[in-house]
Structure 1
């Protein structure tokens, strides 16, 4: 079984157990159990590492005598400090997944799970208030929770063959994606399609410094940023390092994010609690090197009437009925002097003139903080059909850490509406790896970054165009890429015009004749059924 087949099989089996519990509720116990299996297996793996260190002559804990070594192994594997030292969560014996698996048929399994997860939280302060502890409230049919525990017991790993974080992280992300498909509109509260996240990350290229997401959902931006950093460290022969900061308004979603970080071996500051970023900003003094976010689109009840004098509104007070330009200005306020931001927003943000939005956009362009605009295709999101775009903002477009080419006074426009060639389902598409590389390379070549592979930038009709601020002003400060990139150059057609017209005319006549025959057949069937058909 491939990894994808394994994840798909696991999901299908888990979904069958769902019964009458809605996906919005079901994701928390499922992902909570996935996390419990993860920490239990990590705990066991650390025990094996401790045992091996006692038998390794070069280890500071080496013990030559076998009997003494066995006794020491029993003592050391029961010592919490040996787990804390390697950032491995301590799992009490009664809370271990294997122990609970033996109790899967117990009528009080739900209560035992709640108690076990409470014990893990008590032993690991960083998990306090994070784990799902409401199994007792689930309205599952008798025995189904035990079946779910037995099913997730199939998750296992061998550190010598593959990394635990990869296996469990992939399952966790896959389950998040599947729950998003099930939930429809509600999915936007916690999940951004993976290919959209990856495209943001590929363009922004977070590698070293602080990274911030003010609407972090389940933490996908952080996870993909860390993966990008690790993937490019060897290539660039540099050590990447990212300090993670975020905030999430929904308490349950914040717990998903904290678990997601833990599954991937990441540590982050998500504030002291959940809360509204506008009214209860928990990172007021932060100045981040990278901001990545997919805030909720076009929200009207964001509390703007109470924040009219907020110092974040440098370019104008955002309209009370739409938070799009509140998000943009909030993220600009949290950027360092060299900081850059990548933000997913509704297409309307590129051209709206309502309630002062046009003036705010004008101020941002004239102040030269808009770096790149990307138009996205429809059908990328499982939870909304609202057309979306990517805004990339920058505090420093001159030569330096952000690129070798001075791009002050210029904005890169990329029209990626036809650039997604992957398909997830009948109603949803995605960017493939090749699609993302094409789009990201246009930016990196334009900016002259370390990720450009030495290639030079060139405008490509129908796809990308580097515009001066004067050109943007001529378009009334509207930032829709289609206005700037022009029409795509069609490939030369060897077929002569007269020949093509003759062929297409014949093809049209044939199709019209076929259509008339179908029309006659339908009329005949309807007449036979006693319906009078108008002509």
Structure 2
């Protein structure tokens, strides 16, 4: 973070935080954000529109009669000037309201808000529900006090002649970020659901653009950027900034969707004041209601919620997966109900362009999507779909303690449907979690204790760009793999069932508890017990056919007839596994598998399962065999195909244990210290 930008944002945040303290006692802490954040947005808009106030009022007064809304808006936007797509037709402003009677503050503010252009009015009335908060403030006799403090807050944007003065869009982004973090902490909410640390976003943007600098230069370049969980819009803003650094003349169109009302309001307001079409930012649940259904995008980036379940809205997602299959968004598979990260990623893949330009995706996720779920599971099938389609370009492991609400390990996935020829069939793994890539923060911000240095960010982008693969100054943190290296076949290994049989007292007691036996009437139960107790030889049978012959003879001799379920219950109750017994055969004369000895072997996808079995299994369990009916539903081959990406396995570094003498000496020192402490306590 630029120190000047950070210092300015922090100073503004501290000032606003003092205003929030005014609410103490009349508002719960969890409600502070509902009052303060809309006020910050309102004051920002007021500062932006102040220079053009007279021009807007004049243009509004001279509008032709019968003019349509679209033309009206364009004329008033023109009066504002620049790329700003917001206006206010009221003569009121913070300055004029402050000069009037404090008792009229509520009436004046409501009139001021309702005079904004449609998009802004919608944000304040429908998303922030700000008029309700103004009413509460007025009834608590706090409205004037809060308003007057905000009226002294200068959020005027920089002027072209003085670009270093004023409050830039970037500073506003950091201001909102810090305020949301603080409000979330005091109300025990999840701050990380609303924004992503800026250095993480910049890294994603660098990785998305590092190989595209040539394609983005020149005149007439248009690129569309999308974030399906856009929060306050930080990712979209920094993506545009990164593109403009490469080409000041590029036209960047930003699109997003957000579920949280306050975050949506902030994001849409930012689009309004930066000249973007606010209608491109949609409100609602991306997974159930895709507001950009027919659109495709050049670049997509996102930080979806980690470990958040999708149970409450599972029905439309499952219905889409079942009815549309891979023609829809979720046809590759559904992850477990407790984590919807891979749903967002599938949604983004569905929006990749199928033209020559193609698309690139950058998404931050935790470790779960890398390896959760075995062969055939939803997660594994999604990984399989992405890797077999050769969309995964690279995965970067980030340092821990980067985010405000969690210290867990996170990863940036990079996907594209326009890989360079040298990357076809390849995936690059970069371990950027080591100390060389992060710096401890001077002061922790929630769970955020570290940040990625600018030079480290540039290094990570360079490692990706150069496809480093071992060796060199940074090679040990980057490795190139074939997509098939992450795949395996899960074959089912069976071993024969071996049982002995005996009509012992203990086993007969088991028979008495069997359901088929309990369903018999008392007289029938007595008949069965008489047979197994008095007519079966009390010897240990190590061959099932021999025992079945003896049982048949005993039943016939007693004149007792039983059905198949009861016979099966007798065999089950009077048997125990015995590795020295004869193998039990099925009706076709083949060995019957023992479910308790069943095992599964993961055979690398690049290896023949028969060769693997002959080398790794058969020498140790000669009676084992592979169940060839256990097959993959897609390629019909023996064994189910699975995919997982185990970072720890690929970047494991052996650390030799300390010498025993050193450990022994340390233990003796500790023992002496403990003995000394005990002496002091006893004395």
TM-score by length of structure 1 reads 0.76
1:288 pairs with 2:289 = no
Distance in 2, Cα, partners of 1:270 & 1:457? 46
| Distance in structure 2 (CA, Å) of the matches to 1:386 and 1:510 | 32
Q: CA RMSD in A?
A: 3.8
Q: What corresponds to 1:154 in structure 2?
A: 153
C-alpha contact 2:9 2:172 (8 A) present in aligned 1: yes
| 1:143 Cα offset (Å) | 4.1
Match of residue 36 from structure 2: 30
Given candidates 105, 109, 115, the residue that maps to 1:113 is 109
Mean alpha-carbon deviation: is it higher for 161-170 or for 311-320? 161-170
1:467-506 per-residue CA deviation (whole Å, 9 max, x = no partner) reads 122433349632243433454999xxxxxxxxx979x94x
> What corresponds to 2:122 in structure 1?
129
Provide, for residues 290-319 of structure 1, a one-character-per-residue CA deviation record: whole Å limited to 9, x for no partner: 111111123232414433334223423444
Within 5 Å, give how 1:365-404 maps onto structure 2. Answer: 365-399=387-421
One of 74, 80, 83 as aligned partner of 2:79: 83
Please tell me whether the aligned partners of residues 371 and 411 of structure 1 are also in contact (alpha carbons under 8 angstroms): yes
Q: CA deviation at 1:147?
A: 4.3
Q: 1:76 to 1:285 in 2, by over 3 A?
A: closer
Write out aligned runs for 1:402-481 (5 A).
406-418=422-434, 419-423=437-441, 424-425=443-444, 427-428=447-448, 429-446=450-467, 460-473=474-487, 474=604, 477-481=643-647
Counterpart in the other structure of 1:343:
363
Q: Is the 8 A contact 2:83 2:274 kept in 1?
A: no
The answer to whether residue 252 in structure 2 is matched with residue 251 in structure 1 is no
Matched-pair contact (CA < 8 Å) for 1:318–1:326 = yes
1:165, 1:395 → 2: CA distance? 42
What SS does the aligned partner of 2:299 have? strand
Q: Assess if the C-alpha contact under 8 Å between 2:6 and 2:171 holds in 1.
A: no
2:107 is equivalent to residue 101 of structure 1: no
Kept in 1: contact 2:269–2:278 (CA 8 A): no
Supply the distance in 2 between the matched residues of 1:10 and 1:266 (Cα, whole angstroms): 25
Asked if 2 retains the 8 angstrom alpha-carbon contact of 1:23 and 1:179, the reply is no
Alpha-carbon separation, structure 1, partners of 2:678 and 2:97: 64
CA–CA separation in structure 2 for the residues paired with 1:459 and 1:253: 42
Aligned residue for 2:13? Answer: 11
Structure 1 residue 407, shift from structure 2 partner? 0.7
- CA drift of 1:149 comes to 3.8
Provide structure 1 residue ranges, at least 5 long, that are not aligned to the other structure.
51-72, 400-405, 448-455, 491-499, 529-535
Larger Rg: 2
| Aligned pairs, number | 471
Q: Which shows bigger deviation, 147-156 or 256-265? A: 147-156
Q: Aligned in 2, Cα 1:393/1:74: closer, same or farther, shift over 3 Å? A: closer
Give the Å deviation of 1:518.
7.3
CA contact (8 A) 1:375 1:480 kept: no
- Distance in 1 of aligned mates of 2:57 and 2:191: 46
Aligned to 2:680: 524
**Residues 340 and 101 (structure 1 numbering): CA distance in 2 closer, same or farther, change over 3 Å?**
same
| TM superposition shift of 1:222 | 0.8
1:462, 1:488 within 8 Å by CA — same for their partners in 2? no
1:306 counterpart = 2:319: yes
Secondary structure at the counterpart of residue 212 of structure 1: strand
Structure 2 counterpart of 1:224, from 220, 238, 255: 238
**Counterpart-to-counterpart distance in 2, 1:508 and 1:110:** 75
Q: Quote the Cα distance in structure 2 between the aligned partners of 1:74 and 1:319.
A: 56
Structure 2: tracts of 5 or more residues without a match: 63-75, 217-221, 488-603, 606-641
Higher deviation after alignment, 509-518 or 1-10: 509-518
Q: 2:245, 2:229 → 1: CA distance? A: 25
Cα distance in structure 1, aligned partners of 2:77 and 2:392: 49
Residue-by-residue CA offset, 1:266-290 (whole Å, 9 max, x unaligned): 335445x522212211111111111
What's 1:174 paired with? 175
What is the CA–CA distance in structure 2 between the aligned matches of 1:75 and 1:37, rounded to whole Å? Answer: 22
> Would you say 1:329 and 2:307 are equivalent positions?
no
In the alignment, what sits opposite 2:649? 483
TM-score (norm 2): 0.61
